[in-house]
Structure 1
Amino acid sequence: MRALKAVVFVVLLAIGCGRAAAQGGGAAGAIAEFPDFRRIVQEAKERVFPAVVYIRVVSENTESGKRELMESSGSGVIVSDEGHVLTNWHVVEKAQRVRCLLSDGRHAEADVLGTDKDTDLAVIKLKMGEGFGAIPTAELGDSEILREGDFVMSMGAPWGLDRSVAIGIVSSTKRYLDGVSEYSLWIQTDAAINPGNSGGPLVNTAGEIVGINTRGSAGSADGLGFSVPTSTVRVVMPQLMEAGRVTWSWTGLQLQALSDFNRDMYFPYEDGVIVAETDPESPAREAGFLARDRIVKIGGESVTAARVNDLPRIRKMLGLLTKGEAAEVEVVRGGERVVLSLVPREKGEVEGRELALKRWDFTVKSINQFENPDLYFYRKEGVFVFGVKWPGNAATAGLARGDILLKIDGEDVGSIEDVRGLHEKLVADVEAKHRVVLSVMRRGLLRQVVLDYRRDHEKE
């Protein structure tokens, strides 16, 4: 594919040179009319590349059934003189320590200022002591003016190889990825985005950041890379810098486009967006929305999702509604227009808290309606088994990942704090007591699990 692009470019350049020579009298005329592409790329690169940082992260992981510290790497780009660095949420997720290597060899620790899982964006800040000196920065550009076929550069630290740059074109400016396009479409590019590139900038030929690299095709030559557009970054970044998170509003509306080719579903309308369903106990259900309602206006603004690509824009519009304030939503129901009053609530956390239980050899996590909707169906509040250590006491007892904890030693548990308190009390004197009954729910069925924790697998 890259060879083909090179051939096409050379052919086009030759054609251009021929025309210029005929009109301007030789090579000088060609150069005047067709600027050197390499110079354009180099100048654009130099505006951003010095601001790219290599990030090393020590993070906490409990998925194996015990607390582990793991080291990983990623990329970022400095966007302010104060040391604010844009990167991905998944690069600094559960970070215990963050270190950054700058282009000139200087290095600094960094604090995580804010993260947003929904858009996979994060802002960290360099700890620049006295005498650290000036730092290079890069500017945000306008992703809305990108067009398919535009040349772009992917910058970052692929596979932990410090900084590098790859060039390609914009394959799509509005790529919808099912399940990961809640509030934003993606910029698709064939510029290489490998593991380690995450958090690095996607740069246009004007030397501006137009996206934050997030996803790629690891271990393949598919030429599929995806970046969060700066149109989304501009909405999210200020909130991360000021509040540490994005306070999205939640309505509980599940939306469907008028036309979905992949699912072979079509509605015979020219405007609006279909309500597929409403979440239980949600603001949408309280407001009286029904499945198959067609929303045509939100807060007086007309909305249409002709295709799935249009859904993130409408979801973002709903997510930015003021929490606790009624918004008028006009729907068409049975041929008649109805105005409903929708009062959104704050979305809150989108993932649960975790806790490792030593000696019991498993970890738990709080149930979250956005992260664990299948478990939330059975229990609105509570904790579930997140990881089971092998070999370990929980594995021997038959405890399984996804089990919902209902009782420990006959006492109800509904939070991480409940589990922490009971665990600390019960393991305080193993000689006096080393067996406990756990009441769990597994796929809707109740079970009693006898956990014997007399063995200390950590010491064996």
Structure 2
Amino acid sequence: MRIFSTIRYPQVFRPWAKGSASESTGTGFFIETPDGQRLILTNNHVVRWASQIYVQGYQSSDRHRVSVVASAVDFDLALLKLRSDDALADAPTLSFAQELPETRDTVSVYGYPTGGNEMSTTKGIVSRIEVAGYDENAVGLRVQVDAAVNPGNSGGPAMVGDEVVGVAFQADTDAENIGYLIPATEVRRFLDDALDGEYIGKPLLEMQYQTLENPALRRRLGLESNQTGVLITRENPGHPGMPSNSQLKADDVITHIGPHDIDNHGQTEIAPNLRGHFSYFIESTNREDQTVPLTVIRDGESIEVFEPSYLDNPNLVPFIGNAYPRYYIFGPMSFTQVTTMYYNTINESYRPVLGVYNSPLITRVIDRKAFPEEELVCVSSPFFPHPSIRNYDDPHLYVVEAVNGIKIRNLEHLVTVLNESEDEFLEFTYGGNLGERMTFDRLEMKESTEEILNDNGIRYQYSSDLRDLAEQYEQ
């Protein structure tokens, strides 16, 4: 079926606003869940930031409203549900293949690519299956085909015979007729995770390692010719407030993840005639206590360790997911949490300037959190016009380090500090060597907020996640 989405993209430098509505199309198909529900599977990017979503059945002119039931940004999958139980009742459900396709299998990709209104079918062969990176640091299997995958095909089924072997999601824009599928094995994992309404994602391991092909390195480690694996180059020190409980030590050689042996390139057998990176098995070997069994050679002996896995993103600058930017407006200033989307929107030619001034936007962009609730908070936008900003430099892109000497821990903390201060003035200092100290009359700043919101046509002073906190200070 064809999917029509009305998309309103985030505006990270104006986080209180959304972009103008734009129309996007994609493809989806019915599946049946273990509890008998008929849901529509498609790509997350087809419906990401959509305010309205409609589907249109094969050879039908009627459009039916749907809602998103669950989604995964990392593996680009989403489940939709019709708002009317009677709609498209005759549309068939498709079933998934239990095994991966073989290379050189003939595959048919169905969808509604741009350039026409009727369903299109393209045929090709499976040319490669490999472990590859998806969005948000996720790792999983990916199938490459030489069937054309064009805009509008996204979310469509790729079939061998009458079984779905994958979901079309991406094309190589630098080459002709190279498309990519999310294989049925990854789709089933998503469904198992997401059908309860909450998608958790795959666990990860944090380690620094290198491959072991170099003969001198192998001799130094005393490895026999039949001993293969990857070398831990340094211990995971953890982070302030988040001490490491890693069981791995420098010079450990990881030879197995669970029962799966690892070669000197970090590869392991995933299926007959298919090898891929050992990280593929993190999820399937992850135990109930959130540890992964690893066999290592340490000081010449083979031992088993249980390495902690994690689900929560430890990065200081997180991915935004399907959300809109978080923000808070106080007087003539707007503040936001720094995300990867915010950083990526900064003009590349300006980043070296920020680097020269040691801005945390550059120096800390790849850091882990120093404590669990840490966030980078920056001035999201240029000043709103107001007499109180007279003769101050524009602080857009400045990271807020402190207010009245209080170190800002995250966006919620900033809201609390601004509203609970009883000082006559509010003094802002910024990270790195950027910007002057900016002092404002506290009451003037607070009382000007409503006027500034009205003058600029801004409906809300804060993003929805801050509503409960901010409303405490409106009473």
- Map Cα deviations across residues 400-420 of structure 1 (whole Å, 9 max, x no partner): 54x543334655433333345
2:261 to 279, 303, 317: 303
- Map Cα deviations across residues 374-415 of structure 1 (whole Å, 9 max, x no partner): 353474443335784468569x844354x5433346554333
Query: What is the identity, as a one-letter code, of the residue corresponding to 1:303?
Result: D
1:74 to 23, 26, 29: 26
Q: Give the structure 2 partner of residue 245 of structure 1.
A: 199
The answer to whether 1:287 aligns with 2:252 is no
The answer to whether 1:407 aligns with 2:402 is yes
- Does the 8 A contact of 1:249 with 1:322 survive in 2? no
Separation in structure 2 between the aligned mates of residue 150 and residue 333 of structure 1, nearest angstrom: 43
The answer to whether 1:439 aligns with 2:429 is yes
- Does the 8 A contact of 1:365 with 1:385 survive in 2? yes
2:92 alignment partner, SS class: coil
2:431 alignment partner, SS class: strand
- Does the 8 A contact of 2:73 with 2:136 survive in 1? no
1:317 alignment partner, SS class: helix
The answer to whether 1:382 aligns with 2:374 is yes
1:2-41 → structure 2 map (5 Å cutoff)? none
Query: What is the identity, as a one-letter code, of the residue corresponding to 2:319?
Result: E
- Map Cα deviations across residues 203-246 of structure 1 (whole Å, 9 max, x no partner): 22x0321112222134x553222111111111121211124203
Q: Give the structure 1 partner of residue 350 of structure 2.
A: none
1:216 to 162, 171, 176: 171
2:151 to 165, 189, 195: 195
1:237 alignment partner, SS class: helix
Closer, same or farther in 2 for the Cα pair 1:172/1:274, shift >3 Å? same
- Does the 8 A contact of 1:365 with 1:386 survive in 2? yes
1:156 to 85, 90, 111: 111
- Does the 8 A contact of 2:128 with 2:144 survive in 1? yes
Separation in structure 2 between the aligned mates of residue 451 and residue 189 of structure 1, nearest angstrom: 60
Closer, same or farther in 2 for the Cα pair 1:342/1:92, shift >3 Å? same
Separation in structure 1 between the aligned mates of residue 123 and residue 265 of structure 2, nearest angstrom: 30
Q: Give the structure 2 partner of residue 318 of structure 1.
A: 282
Greater mean deviation of Cα atoms: 97-106 or 341-350: 341-350
The answer to whether 1:169 aligns with 2:160 is no
Greater mean deviation of Cα atoms: 277-286 or 407-416: 277-286
- Map Cα deviations across residues 97-151 of structure 1 (whole Å, 9 max, x no partner): 433222233333222222223322222222223566333221212452321x332
1:25-424 → structure 2 map (5 Å cutoff)? 52-66=1-15, 67-69=17-19, 70-71=21-22, 72-80=24-32, 82-103=37-58, 104-130=60-86, 133-142=89-98, 144-147=100-103, 149-159=104-114, 162=117, 163-174=119-130, 176=132, 182-204=138-160, 206-218=161-173, 221-254=175-208, 256-258=210-212, 271-276=228-233, 279-281=236-238, 285-299=244-258, 301-307=259-265, 310=268, 314-320=278-284, 321-347=286-312, 351-352=319-320, 354-358=325-329, 360=332, 362=334, 364-365=336-337, 374=365, 376-377=367-368, 379-380=370-371, 381-384=373-376, 388-389=380-381, 397-401=393-397, 403-408=398-403, 411-420=406-415
What RMSD over aligned residues (CA atoms) do the two structures have, in Å? Answer: 4.2
**Identity rate, percent:** 18
- Does the 8 A contact of 1:175 with 1:188 survive in 2? no
- Does the 8 A contact of 2:379 with 2:395 survive in 1? no
Q: Give the structure 2 partner of residue 27 of structure 1.
A: none
Separation in structure 2 between the aligned mates of residue 363 and residue 384 of structure 1, nearest angstrom: 10
1:145 alignment partner, SS class: coil
2:192 alignment partner, SS class: helix
- Does the 8 A contact of 1:278 with 1:285 survive in 2? no
Closer, same or farther in 2 for the Cα pair 1:115/1:279, shift >3 Å? farther
- Does the 8 A contact of 1:214 with 1:226 survive in 2? yes
Query: What is the identity, as a one-letter code, of the residue corresponding to 1:302?
Result: H
Separation in structure 1 between the aligned mates of residue 73 and residue 234 of structure 2, nearest angstrom: 24
- Does the 8 A contact of 2:246 with 2:307 survive in 1? yes
- Does the 8 A contact of 1:298 with 1:329 survive in 2? yes
Give the TM-score normalised by structure 1: 0.68
Q: How many residue pairs are counted as aligned between the two chains?
A: 386
Closer, same or farther in 2 for the Cα pair 1:173/1:412, shift >3 Å? same
Query: What is the identity, as a one-letter code, of the residue corresponding to 2:29?
Result: V
Separation in structure 2 between the aligned mates of residue 247 and residue 178 of structure 1, nearest angstrom: 12
Unaligned stretches of 5+ residues in structure 2: 215-222, 269-274, 344-360, 459-475
The CA deviation at 1:56 is 0.9
- Does the 8 A contact of 1:366 with 1:416 survive in 2? no
Greater mean deviation of Cα atoms: 135-144 or 270-279: 270-279
Query: What is the identity, as a one-letter code, of the residue corresponding to 1:253?
Result: M
Separation in structure 2 between the aligned mates of residue 409 and residue 355 of structure 1, nearest angstrom: 23
- Does the 8 A contact of 1:139 with 1:209 survive in 2? yes
Separation in structure 1 between the aligned mates of residue 367 and residue 69 of structure 2, nearest angstrom: 30
